[in-house]
Structure formats: structure tokens, C-alpha cells
Structure 1
Amino acid sequence: MWRRLGELFAGLIVLSLALTCFARLVAEPSGLLVDGDRPSVDHAQRDDFRPVGNDLTFFYLPHYTQLADQLARYGRVPHWDSSGFAGRPLVGNPQAGLFYLPLRLIWNLRTPSALGWLTVGHLLWASLGLFLLMRTMGAGVAAATVAAGCFQASPYVLAQVFEGHYPHVWAASWYPWAFWAFVQFRNRRWARALTLAPILAMALLAGHPQEWFYLVFVLSVWTLWDAVHDGLAGGPKTAFARLSGWSFVMALSLGLAGVELIPAITAQTWTLRGSHLSLGNVSRYQLHALNLFQLLSPGALGEPNNYFGHDNYWETVLSMGLIPLVLAVVAAARHPDRQLIRGWLVLIVGALVFAGGRKLGLFPLLFECVPGMNRFRVPSRSLFLASLGTAAMAGFGVETLALRSFGAEGWQWLARHFRRVAFVVGAILLGLLPFSTARIEPRTLPDRALSLREIRTLLRSQGESRPAALAADQIARSGTFWFAFVGTVVILAVGRRAASHRQGYALSLGLLGLIELGLSGHGLLKVTPPSRFLGPDPISQALRAAVPPVDGPFRIRARDSLYQDLRASSNGFEKINVNDSFQIQHAADLYEPLYALLYVPPVPDPNSLMSELIAEHRQENRQRILDRMNVAFLVSDHIETDPHWPLVVTGRSQGSTFSIHRNPTAMPRAYVVPRAEPTAEDVGSALAGFRAVDPREAVLLPSDPLPAGPRQPFTPAVWGSADPDRVVIHAKTEAPGLLVVADTWMPGWHAQDNGRSVVLLRGNHAQRVVPLTRGGHHEVILRYEAPGLKRGSAVTLTSASAWIAVAVATLFWQVRCRVRTRTSVNRRAREETETFTPCG
């Protein structure tokens, strides 16, 4: 009973911690977890200023709202994503999370705040997993509670929540459960170990493979170490059995995720060739020496909106809380189970060294040697693993302080060393404080979003040239730091003198650590009404009032920081540029020349004879691409001179000026042309053909598929469907022609003309072309089936069946063993009774 009561109190403590961190969301349940007043600083983002918002509003929420709307409209999840870059696969996008079961449960809610609440649920789930893991490793309820709370409210984890990196957090929330199941695997508790395969599959399906990859890498290294140890102790058969077991678990988990994995692998043939990075391109989002100040306070280098460290706040915050740090050091130094502690220390140190990036050597070594490691550009994501390890160590620290063997001598040792370290650190901070030129105050809301150069100028005026001194000043002014420091001093002073109740003091120190993390999380996480990013706005109203140059659907090209994806999609406008790196290569070839569009062009060098010609050449390329991509309007923050399109309207939106230009030569979404211009499929030939060929006269193809004879002149077609997987187009012709659809061509698309299957060609380098071999009325239906989806579904169903069969067989075997053991014990007891002869 007392055990159950203790576990109940543990749950209440962890739940209270979550309520503290997310108090603003509890007070406004429909709100979004985003700072709606101040844009965050990202020094690695050099190409444009960063607007107000985070990746929730920039990327995940537009994706979620679009999926939820399409699910409600068509009753199914589409396979094709019609938004952005003229379309790309949805099934096969590893960041879509289409088959992640918890995410599917909230699609029908169609509530913008659902993603935030789902993330809160994942953090509670992670804390439960770590609680169970700690108990499995022999820790008491108090130690397990502190560990669970430290991971749930870890400054790094909550920083990822602040930035809206929800799939990252969802995947990392499976870490404690994966470690728990792996411990069962190591101990040969097969019934529980069977959960490891679906746990790994869930981490992979969450929508961001990097966290899954790091988890699998760590567990694989652990398995290899165990196999070497088994080989030395018990022979090669034992080592082979362990490696075979891990291989089976990995194969089963990959099979369970096959419905996501196989379409993604199939799509890689056509996606951007730059998905494999070179080490020279990975130089950002890694730890630096300046981040050590964050060990004392997560806000030592400023808040996300005025961060003066390297890169940004959320990717490199090196903090676990001051009190959890003290507890982790206690466990590292004095916990009696040295083998257990060494394992966690290896994980923590390895993750931190890896997060150090190129400078510390481990990341470049693994980047070059481990297959798949070169797909990920943010080495500091290993801090998820470090957060898990430090949370467990904090729990073991509470357990160490509560041990009788630690006693008065241990408390005195801790107080003595804490005093020494505090003296040294305090002396360093006091030595730096005189060099702090100014206190960093929260920046007031400007009348427009500031560029990165302006942000850096502002920070430099506040003393950016002395970042260490500014960090010392931030720490000295942090109320949470002083709360943690004074609380630690008081408990250590009382504990070293007390003759009893040291278990209570150990628990008190752990609870103070949770309060410290709760206060830090509460100060970080902000909530904003959805109307700040959704609903009508001046730009959308102006676009709705403008007369498009073509009938039917059209696209716009907008500056992302001015007119974001969420605002556009919620108002029914399709941007050709979206905040997503998942693109089809041949479509990206055409879109690349548009990158410089909407930015003030450089003035041609008057001393260079070629500069003006090059500028005109690029301008002509952009115009031809924009026409063929059905781009009807440009939305910019200044009046455009390149391209020089008619100005529709100017105004102000969200504190910034905007201008809308109309493209007078935009092509319809679908149209019929008379002939094909034979052109090679490389992008250079396509761009040359664009400049030489009138899009109303011909489409670029390797050869003309129509026979000689009369041809249908240019004729706009009628767009008859909004279903992304089933496009219906109506065209009336009097002679054969070529139907051009200004959407991205991709294997998986099939065409029918009046119910008859016809070939679907790739023209204009990236678009769909349907030959219409006869005149008359045409109802052309284009259907999309994701390549690899059927195979992936079959693999997932087979793997699930295999997992169920193995689980049933394992449970049956365990029950049978228990029955045999019980029967044997009863038989032995009966035999002993029968052979017993009483004296006398």
C-alpha cells in the first residue's frame, strides 16, 4: 500500500511540474506555444530576417491544418502534397509523420493547439518511461521521481518545445522507453524485451529521423560492447546470439515502420541530391566554450529573442539546472554502483563531445565513418541523449544522498566541495562583471521584423564584444539561479549537521531542483492566440480583391518572412515557395533561379561588360519560369523592379510594408499547346528552351509524341477538382494537342482521357504532359499512387503479424515454464512428505 501511495505522489509531483511549465497553455487551452511578440534570434540564418513565430507556425502547423482539412473533405489522407514547389510526395516525406499513430488521433480535432497538447502528453509519457527505467535499475521512488521530472522539464527539451520542434520532442520522448526495453533485452526478459521493436518503430515514425538514428546508434554500440564482453567471457556463440537478437529486433522495428520507410527510400531517387551533406557544410549548431555558462543558468546567454551566444538558443542550450547538476556530480562521485554510473557517464560525455561538432573530433569521425550520419546537419541534437543521462544521474544523486553509507561524512564532503567550487565560480563571475557594459533588456516590439544585421548591431551596442561578461551579468541577475543556489546552500548546511532525516533532506534537494526547472520552463514557454498567425490579414484581403491574370487556380511567390505559409494556406492561397527542404530534384532545378527573387538585386558593376548581360539573362530566366509555374502574383516588402510587373496594391501588414505585383504573362494551371519542342532533359537545355520557345506555342519534350497533321492551337483548360490525388481537367479541342499541367511530374501519377489510359509524359523539365490524340471533349483524370506504399504496407503488416506471433509464442512459453516449475515444486514437496517418518 505504501508503495502504491508513493507512486501516486510521484505522479502528482510530475504532473504538477508539467502544469507549472505549461501554466500559460493551461490558462489558455486554445493557444499556441509560441512567442507572438518577439522574433527569436538565429545567427546562422543569414539569408533573411526571422519573423515572429517558430517552426510550429513556420512549418508544422500549416502541414497539420492542411492534412486535417483534406481528411475532413475527402475522408482519407492524401498521398500527394499539392502545396509548395508545384507539388511533391506526401507519402515518402520523412518529416510528414503520416503514420505516427498519436498524431493521427488528433487530426479529426482540427484544432491548432492540438499539436502543443500532444507534445505535453509526450513529455508526461517520457517521464513515466524514465520513472519505470529508474525503478528497473533499482532506484527508489524518490530518485525515480526526480529523474522523471528532470527529463520532462529539461531546459534543452523545453527549448525544443519553445521552437516548435514537436516531432523532435515526440521522438525523444521514446528514449526512456527504448532504454527500459533494451535493459529487458540485455537481461533476457523476453516478454518485456519484445516491446523494443515497436518502441523503435514509433520513434522513427514520429516525423524526424535524426533522433531515432542517434538512439539506434547508441543502442547498437551498447550491443556491440556487450557482444565483445560475452565473447571474452563465454565464447563466440554467446556473442553471436546477442548480435543476432539485436539484428532481429532492428529488422522487426524497420519492418513495422516499412509503410513509412519504403516509400521514403523509393522517393529518394527523385528528391534533392543534396540530402547527403559534406562535413565542410556542417559548421553550425554545435556547442562552444561560451555555452558552459549555461550550466549555471539556461538564460546565461540571453533569451531566445536576445540571444548573444553562437547560432541560437534552442539548439545549443547546455543546461540541466543547477541543482540537478549538483545531484549528478554527487552520483558520479559517490554512488556505490560504479558500473551503472560509468555507463550513464559514457552516454553523457559521448553525447556532449558529439554535440561539440567538428572541433572535438567525435562528430567528424562518425560523420565520415558511420553510414547515414551525413544526413543530419545539427550535431547538438545529441543533447537529447545527454538530457536523458543527466536526468537519470540527478535521480541517482538523490538516492546517493539518502544512503546510510553516505552519512554525515558524505554530506560534509559535499558541502566542502560545493563551497570550494562556488568560491572559484563566484570569483570568475565577479571578475567578469566589471566588463559588462550594459544589461540586456527585453527588446520592445518594433514596427517591423528586424534583419539579422540589425539584431547583431543592437546586441553589439549592448556589449556583444564581451559575451563572457554579459553572461556573468545575466547569471547575477537571474532569480532562478539565486533560488537554486541559496536553496542548495541551506539544505547542505542543515544536512551536514543533522543526525537523522537525511533522506528527507535528499528528497527536498531533489524537489527544489524540480522547482528550479519548473520556474525556468514557465519563464521560457509563451502562449499566443491562434488568431495572431491565422485568419484574415491585409495581404490576403488584397490578394482576394486582385484580379488574377488567368482563370482557375494560380500560385503566388511571396517573401516568407512577410507572408508566411500558415497565413497563406489558411486563406486559400498556394505559395510556390514554402518553408520545407523536401523537394523533387527536377522541380528544384527550375525553382533555384527564383531564390534571389524579392530581394533587392545588386547594382550591376559599370566596369564589367558582362554584368548587365548576366543580370538580363537571369531576369529573363526567372520570367519564363514564373510564367510556366502559374505564378500570378508577387508579394514583396518593397516595390519590385525585377521583374517589372504592374503594381496592384501596397499597404502594411504586421508592422511591415508590402506590395503586390501582377504577372501579366502567367500561364494557366492547365492548357493545350499544338506541338513539342525537342529538348534534352538537363536543366541547362530546359532554361535555354524556355528563353527560345513561346509557352503558348510548344512544350519542351525529348520528342513530339503526336503524329504529323493538324494541331490544336493554344487553349486554356478547365480545372475541375481540388483533390490532390485526383486531378480532373476538362478541355475541348478540334485537333490533337498536348495538355500541359503546371504541376510537378513524378512516378506514381497515371492519366486517363475519357476513361482510357494514356501515357503521362514529363515536359518543361518538371511538368506533366498528356498527349490528346484526337479532337473533342476531354475529361482527363490524373491519379496518384505513392510509389512503394503497397510494398511498405505489406512489409508492415507482415512484421506486425510476426511480432504478434513471437509475442504469443513467448508468453505461451513463459506460462508453460511457470506451470512446469510449479508442478516440479509441488512434486518435490509431495515426495518429501511421503518419505518423512516421524520419530517414536
Structure 2
Amino acid sequence: MSDQQRGTVVGRWGPVALAVVLCGLFFFRALSSSGVFLGGDALRVFLPMRAYWASRVSALEFPDWLPYDGLGQSFPGIFITGTFHPLMWPHLVLPLGLAAKVALLGCFLLALGGTYALVRAWDVPRAGALFAGVTFAFCGYLVCITNNPTYLQAASTLPGVLWLALRFLRQPDLARLTLAGMGLALLAFAGDAQAFVMANALIVCLTALEPHAGPWRRRVTACALLILAGGLLAAPQLLPAAALVSGSEPGARSLGEAQRFSLHPLRLWELVLGPFLADARGTQGIPYVVVTHLVPSGGFGRAWVDSVYLGTPAWVLALAGLAASARQWRAWAFVGLWGVLLALCLGDALPVYGWAYHLIPFWKPFRYPEKLVPLVSLGLAVAAGLGWKRCLGAGGPVRPVVWVGALMALPFAGVALAEGRGQWWSEHWLRARWPDVPGPVLRGLSDNVVATTATAALLAFACAALALLRERPALRGSLLVVLQWGALTWAHEPLYQLSPEELLSTPPAFVEHIRARFPSPEPVRVASSLRETTPPRLPGLNYHDSLHLTLLSALAPDMVAMWGLESANEYLPGVSPRVRQLKADRVQWFTRLAPRLGTRFLAYATSEHAAFAARLSVRSTFTDPLLGLTLVEYADAVPRVLLARPECVAGRDEAARRMLSATLPPPDVALVECTAPLPATPEGPLGPVRVLPGTPEHLTVEVDARAPAVLVVNDAFQPGWRATLDGQDVAILPANVAVRAVAVPAGRHVVELRYRTPGLTAGLIVGAAAWVGLLLACLGTRYVPRRRAAGG
């Protein structure tokens, strides 16, 4: 191999090897231990959903129905379950925690590589592209959203999707259309509907701003084809989700609810300085007391992510590039687009998110403006790469980098000095807004401000100094990449959370108690009244491990799915509006309505015992004094499937009024929203029912009714269910507002209920046709020219 060939190989594969090394070093703590990512919704949603998916698919069954949340809901209809994403497949062969770790760590390589390729497409030098990739891959949002891997998967996929789209827009052909469409579909399959929509919007912006996309007619045609291809390929996810939106109330029901996780204006300083509100040693994130007093999250006691830092060197290069390109209209168009995204992230601090909520028809299912922060992060990473090209590329002016670095370093150093010497920020700004701030919190925040501003000043000054290394561009590039990586590692490596794998594999005490009472595989439904809580101090466990153990032990949704227990609580967005309607009165729900709908157990904080005790009918009580939790078995819980006497009501409102009144109907009476009068059922025993083995989507019940009655199935009334009586189709009627009923005449009968997610069949047909059609067309375009060449 010649020196030139060797240099080409090193230049092409060197950044790849360096990216792998940087990812490995950043996540060395995760790679060198058996700990798993359990923070936030990783434990609440991501891992339980994957455990359920793997259990069903490994049994060669498709998981249409999810029985573990809100009395049941569609599994593929909920975007965040990610039913069709390729990263589901490792869960079939690897342990749950390890498969999740592999998937999550792969996301950071995907984010780095996608950003590198996107920036390289604009002729940014390899070192600058690697710098941009490092900026996005290790930014605060991506590292901290390991507590919600669904959104990490989507965010990490976005740069690669935009790169594929850019290639197609520049040179439209069938192969590039197929690849870009597959990227968009993969983004939809990742589980973030808003990211999919925003990616399409960004493709429209690329179409308008890209200088090499050709004439406007070709631009518009290519953009429309790409969006259409992505939608068709993602149809297996999009059509069930559209059916769910049309028949339910997913996402935000009000603007206030939509904006609960907004980026607080105070946190804008984090973008440049670092996570000055986070406690990297104790709670490993922004503590509860800081969230509630300084950066409130709409009633939540936690932040969506604990850092949004992007690295001070990235800001130096981005601002320097803007200064050097001040006369180019595309630069200011880019800044305007980035500013709109930032304004959306700020949510309730500005009216912009409200405008989107009210004016854009499909926006209402979305919620949490802070979910848009990765778009802001990616924009800054791209701007830093373009700034590198403009100022540090061959013949570029380095003066803007020097000036921006110096101008940023001076005020940061001044703030660090003022706070370190005279507590200028903490005493004059912080105390004015939080007069009774606890002393330890005040000192911790003060130390954070000094550390972050001093570090930012050093980083900005270092960028200015390195820019002067004109004669050593390779050394300068390497040092800048390492400087940015080091800044992000210092700020964010302590913030990702690992917990012992045993928390996933060891059933908590309440689960063992329930299984001792009900050892058969018959489904057992539980409820949990535990809300956001401060975990007790447990020996040998840190704050987050104690919190995870408490949530697991309190039978919070949807974690009970890992133990095969069903939940009367809802956490996922596809819950039936009928179920949600019955929860208007929290105490009424947990003491009277949940057991009426087939719930056998209730877990609550022992401190809440006084609120529940007088209204609970209890068969047995089991306590966990270490965690301060109590488990009670309802004495008045009705069976999940039973025969009942129908009492027809005019509609849902009348049924809700009766169910929410002070006196409930007798347990053997069901309030049925009848489409026609039902035969009267005389007093006396109604007869036995026998539930045959089946799947969540297929319920078979043998009924021996002594008189006309209704078979009540205490699962959510949702579109998609069909029923037969002795093989003949019959209507499913809403009962007790939220559950299902089938009218049965006297005698022995077999009732079957089957579920199919609305929109799924059509989505699979459309998606399969699009995938096969595009692939065959691509093969055809490659095969036909070869035949012509051979014939010639």
C-alpha cells in the first residue's frame, strides 16, 4: 500500500475509529459494569414494553393489545411503544437490561455518525465534522435522555435522516429516494411522533435553503416525493396511531398540559455554561427542591432533562462562523429557523408554542416543548461545523474565532470572580427570587456557578488560542475536538444513571405476596396511588436506586408488566377516555371504582392510610415498613369476567353520573349503554362463567346463564374489539362507563372477543407494498441498464 493510499484509508476510517474510542471513553462506566439504564421512563415504559414485546414475539404472537396499562389499550397504536423498530430485536436474544444497554449505546454512535455525515455533505473538513458529531452526540439532552430511550432513539436518528434527505434533494434518483424514505420510516418507528413531523418540516426547510437542490420545480417535486415515500413506508405505525387519535384523547388535552415540561428561561444559560443547576454527586441531576423553586415543570417535581449544555467551544465556532458569514442571507435564515425552534422549546415562557397548539391541526397530540431541544442541539452542532469550515478551513479567517473566544471568556471570568469572591449571583439574584433558600442548596448552586462560568471562560480562551495555530492545522483540529469532548464529558458523564440489574430481575415484596395469594397464571390487576415521591434513605443504595426500588415496590405502571401483573393505572397516552373519566375523584377511584372494575389490590404510601381507611373494604393488609408502603387486598373486588344484570342507561354521561355518585349500583348490576332494550333478568344466581386459555387479543368464555344477562369483561372499552356468540357476530356494549359487555340469552353459550388494532391491517398492506415496490424498482433500475449494455 502506497503512502497516498494509506493516507486515504486513515483519512476515511480514522474519524470512525476515533468516534468509537470517544464513545467508549465517555461511557466507560457503563461498559465496565453490569449496571443498566433505569432512570425515568426507561424503567416506567421502555423496559416493560420491550419485555412484553419480546415475550409475545418469542411465542410467535403479535402484541396487538396491551393489558398492563389503564385497563388495556392498543400496543402498536401508541407511538412510543416502538413496535416495529429494529432495536426491538436484540431483546429476543439478550437479557432485558443488556439489550437495552446495547441499543442505547448504539444510539450515540448513530448520532455522532449521522451528524458527521450531514456536516461533511456541506464540505466541512473531517475534523470539523467530527467536532460537530461530538457536539450533538454528547450534548446534555442526548446524555440525559438515556432516562427515556424512546426519545433518544428518535433524536439520534434525525441527523442521518437529514443527511439522506439532503443527498436525495441534490441528486434525485430512486435509490436515494428509497434510502431517505427508509430513514424517515425508521424515525417514525423509533417512537416519537413529534420528531417524525419535525423531520418532515426540516426537510421542507432544506428544500428551500439548499443551494445545490436545482430549480424550484425539481425541489418541490423531490420534497413531495420524499415526504410521501416516508409516510407510505411508515404506514404500519402511522395508520394505527391516526386511528388512535381519532378515537381517543392521546397527548395533551389542554395547552397547559401540553406545556408542562417547558425549557425554563433560566436554563438558557445552561446551553453555553453547563449544568449549573444539577447536583452531579448526590441526586445526579437537578434536585427536586431546585425544580420546584427555580425552574418549575408544570407541577412535576423533576426536569425533563438535567442538562441542555452544548459545549462552550461549539458556541465559539458557531458565533464566529456567523460573524464571518454576516452578509449571507442563508446564514440568517438558519439563525431564524434555529430561533423559532428555541422559542418552541421555551413553551409557556413565550406564546409561540401556544400558536402552534391552536393553529396547527395535528399539533395537539404532542406535548412537552422540551422534547424539541435536540433540534436546537443539532442546529448548534451543524452551525459549529459550518463555522469551522468558514473560519478554520483552508484560507479561512481565524480572527472571528479569536475575537468571539475572547469576548465570551471575559464576562464568564468576571461572573466566576464576582460569585467566588462576593456571592454576587447567589446573594443578589438567587435570594431575591428564593428568600428562604436552604443553606446547602445555596452553597451548592453558588459552587456550580463558579465552576461552570470559570470553565466556560477557560474553554473560550482556549479556543481563541488554538485558532492561532495556523501552521499546525492537524494539531489544532485534534485539540479542538478533544477540548469539546472533554467539556461535554466533564459536564455530562456524571449525569447518566446506572442501576443494578437485580432491580429488574428480583420481584419486590408486594409482587411475591400477590403471587403467593394467586399462584395461577390468571391475570391479576393492581392499582397504585403513589404519586411523585421522595424515596427513603436506604443503606447501600443511592438516591436513584432507592427511587427505582420504591416505584417498583409500589406497583407503579407500567413496571408491573415485568412481573405479569396488570394495572388499573394509566401512564401511556392511549388510555381510553372512558377510563380517564372515572378518575375525576382520586379517592373515589382507588376506594370504590377500581375494585368494581376487576382490580384486586391497591398499593399506597402508608402516610395516606387515613385518607383511604374509612372508605376501603379490605380483606388483607401487607406492609413494607422499610419503604413506607402498604398493600391491601380489596374485599369487594368483582371478578374480571362475570355475568351481571343489565340496567340500560341513556348514554355515557348518565352512566358516569351513576358511577361517580355516592351510591354505586349493586355489584351484580351493570350500567349498560343499550342500543335496544335488553331482556329483564330476574333475581337469583346468574350462573357460572369459565374463561378458557387464550391471548390478550383473544378471550373465550363459556357461559351457563340461568336467565338472560350480560357478560361483563372488566377491560377497557376500546375500538377494535369484535365479539361472537356461538359463532355469530354480536354487539359489544359499554358497561359501567369504561368496560365491555355482551348480551347473552339463557343457556349455555360460548362468547369470543377478538381484538385487532384499528388501522393496523391497512398500515401493514400499504407499508409492505411501499417497501416491496421501492426495492423492486431499485433493483429494476440497476438491472435494466446492465441488460441494455450487454445487448449493445
Give me the whole-angstrom Cα distance separating, in 1, the residues matched to 2:527 and 2:674.
29
CA contact (8 A) 1:286 1:357 kept: yes
Q: Is the 8 A contact 2:345 2:370 kept in 1?
A: yes
Q: Which residue of structure 2 aligns with residue 184 of structure 1?
A: 167
Q: Is the 8 A contact 2:131 2:480 kept in 1?
A: no
Q: Is the 8 A contact 2:409 2:460 kept in 1?
A: no
From 1, 7, 12, the equivalent of 2:12 is: 7
The whole-number CA distance in structure 2 between the counterparts of 1:698 and 1:142 is 69
1:168 aligns with 2:151: yes
Native 8 Å contact 2:423 2:446 kept in 1? no
1:759 CA displacement: 3.8
TM-align CA RMSD: 3.6
Confirm whether residue 367 of structure 1 aligns to residue 339 of structure 2: no
Partner of 1:31: 35
- The answer as to whether partners of 1:552 and 1:719 remain within 8 angstroms in 2 is no
Q: Is the 8 A contact 2:655 2:671 kept in 1?
A: no
Compute the displacement of 1:474 (Å).
0.4
Equivalent position amino acid for 1:574 in 2:
E
Shift of 1:713: 2.6
SS state at 1:477 partner: helix
CA separation of 1:3/1:349 partners in 2, compared to 1, >3 Å: closer, same or farther?
farther
Distance in 1 (alpha carbons) for counterparts of 2:471 and 2:189 = 50
**Deviation, structure 1 residue 795:** 1.1
Contact 1:299 1:475 in 2 (8 A): no
Q: Residue 84 of structure 2 is aligned with which of 94, 99, 113?
A: 99
Q: 2:244: which partner in 1?
A: 267
Going from structure 1 to structure 2, the CA distance change for 1:708 and 1:700 (only over 3 Å counts) comes to closer
Instruction: Find out whether 1:118 has 2:114 as its counterpart.
Output: no
- Is 1:764–2:736 an aligned residue pair? yes
Q: Which residue among 55, 75, 82 is the counterpart of 2:41?
A: 55
Residue deviations 1:652-682, cap 9 Å, x none? 26x4212222322211111123x32121222
What SS is found at the alignment partner of 1:730?
strand
Q: CA deviation at 1:26?
A: 0.5
Which residue in 2 is equivalent to 1:727? 699
1:348 Cα offset (Å): 3.0
Distance in 2, matches of 1:268 and 1:553, equals 28
1:285 equivalent in alignment to 2:274: no
| Counterpart in the other structure of 1:738 | 710
491 and 389 in structure 1: CA distance in 2 versus 1, 3 angstrom threshold: closer
> In structure 2, what is the Cα distance between the partners aligned to 1:685 and 1:12?
64
8 Å contact 1:98–1:104 — kept in the other structure?
Answer: no
- In 2, Cα distance between the equivalents of 1:559 and 1:761? 29
Mean alpha-carbon deviation: is it higher for 239-248 or for 254-263?
A: 239-248
1:343 shift after superposition? 5.5
1:331 touches 1:393 (CA, 8 Å); kept in 2?
yes
Q: How far apart are the structure 1 equivalents of 2:785 and 2:439? A: 67
Match of 2:144 among 135, 152, 159: 159
Tell me if structure 2 keeps the 8 A contact 1:403–1:503. Answer: no
Residue equivalent to 1:571: 563
2:94 counterpart (95, 109, 115): 109
Note if contact 2:319-2:404 (Cα within 8 Å) is conserved in structure 1: no
Equivalent position to 1:584, from 576, 586, 606: 576
Alignment partners' CA distance in 2, 1:784 and 1:522: 45
SS at match of 1:269: helix
- Residue of structure 2 aligned with 1:634, choices 595, 602, 612: 602
User: Secondary structure at 1:460's aligned position in 2?
Assistant: coil
Maintained 8 Å contact 2:320/2:404 = no
Is this contact kept in 2: 1:535–1:567, CA < 8 A?
A: no
Pairs aligned (count):
737
Structural mapping, 1:114-513, within 5 Å: 114-161=99-146, 164-190=147-173, 191-223=175-207, 239-272=216-249, 275=251, 277-303=253-279, 304-306=285-287, 308=290, 309-310=294-295, 311=297, 312-315=302-305, 317-334=307-324, 338=328, 341-342=331-332, 344-400=334-390, 402-406=392-396, 410=398, 414-433=401-420, 434-435=422-423, 460-462=437-439, 471=445, 473-477=447-451, 485-486=457-458, 489=461, 492-493=464-465, 496=468, 500-513=471-484
Structure 1: gaps (5+ residues):
35-52, 440-455, 598-618, 824-840
SS in 2 for 1:732: strand
Unaligned runs of 5+ in 2: 280-284, 428-432, 531-550
Displacement of 1:722 = 5.2
SS in structure 1 at match of 2:9: helix
Inter-partner Cα distance in structure 2 for 1:753 and 1:105: 41
The match for 1:448 is none
Give the equivalent residue in structure 2 for 1:532: 503
CA contact (8 A) 1:720 1:728 kept: yes
- State the alpha-carbon separation in 1 of the partners of residues 457 and 381 from structure 2: 19
CA distance in 1, matches of 2:673, 2:505: 41
Amino acid at match of 2:475: G
- Deviation, 1:735, is 4.0
C-alpha deviation, 1:502, in angstroms: 3.8
Equivalent residue number for residue 678 of structure 1? 648
Q: Over residues 376-400 of structure 1, what are the superposed CA-to-partner deviations in whole Å (9 max), with x where a residue is unaligned?
A: 2222322211211222233334444
**Counterpart of 1:156 in 2: which secondary structure?**
helix
Q: Deviations over 1:563-592 (max 9, x none)?
A: 333653333322211422321122322344
Q: Indicate conservation of the 8 Å contact 1:62/1:565, yes or no.
A: no
Deviation by residue 1:600-628 (Cα, 9 ceiling, x = unmatched): xxxxxxxxxxxxxxxxxxx5x76552342
Q: Deviations over 1:84-140 (max 9, x none)?
A: 221111131222211223324534435223123212212212222222222221122
Letter in 2 for 1:323: P
Q: Distance in 1 between matches of 2:694 and 2:402?
A: 69
Q: Is the 8 A contact 1:316 1:380 kept in 2?
A: no
CA 1:306 to 1:814, structure 2 compared with 1: closer, same or farther past 3 Å?
Answer: farther
**Partner SS state of residue 361, structure 2:** coil
Q: What secondary structure does 1:173 align onto?
A: helix
TM-superposed CA distance for 1:644, in Å, is 2.8
Match of 2:763 in 1: 792
**Contact 1:649 1:660 (C-alpha < 8 Å) held by counterparts:** yes
Q: Equivalent residue of 1:372, what SS? A: helix
2:747 aligned residue:
775
Contact 2:70–2:571 under 8 Å retained in 1: no
The 5 Å alignment of 1:57-76 reads 57-72=43-58, 74-76=59-61
Change in 2 beyond 3 A, CA 1:343/1:131: farther
Aligned residue for 1:625? 593
Paired AA for residue 514 in structure 1: W
Query: Deviation of residue 226 (structure 1)?
Result: 7.1
Quote the offset at 1:519 in angstroms.
Answer: 3.4
Shift of 1:80: 0.8
8 Å CA contact 1:676–1:701 kept in 2: the answer is: no
The 1:18–1:521 alpha-carbon spacing in structure 2 relative to 1, beyond 3 Å, is: farther
- Post-superposition Cα deviations, 1:683-705, rounded to whole Å, max 9, x if no partner, equal 34344168463231455342676
1:525-546 CA distance string (max 9 Å, x none): 2311122354222222333345
For 2:466 and 2:153, the matched residues in 1 are separated by: 40
The percentage of aligned residue pairs carrying the same residue is: 21
| AA in 1 matched with 2:417 | L
In the alignment, what sits opposite 1:604?
A: none
The TM-score normalised by the length of structure 2 is: 0.84
Q: Is the 8 A contact 2:409 2:456 kept in 1?
A: no
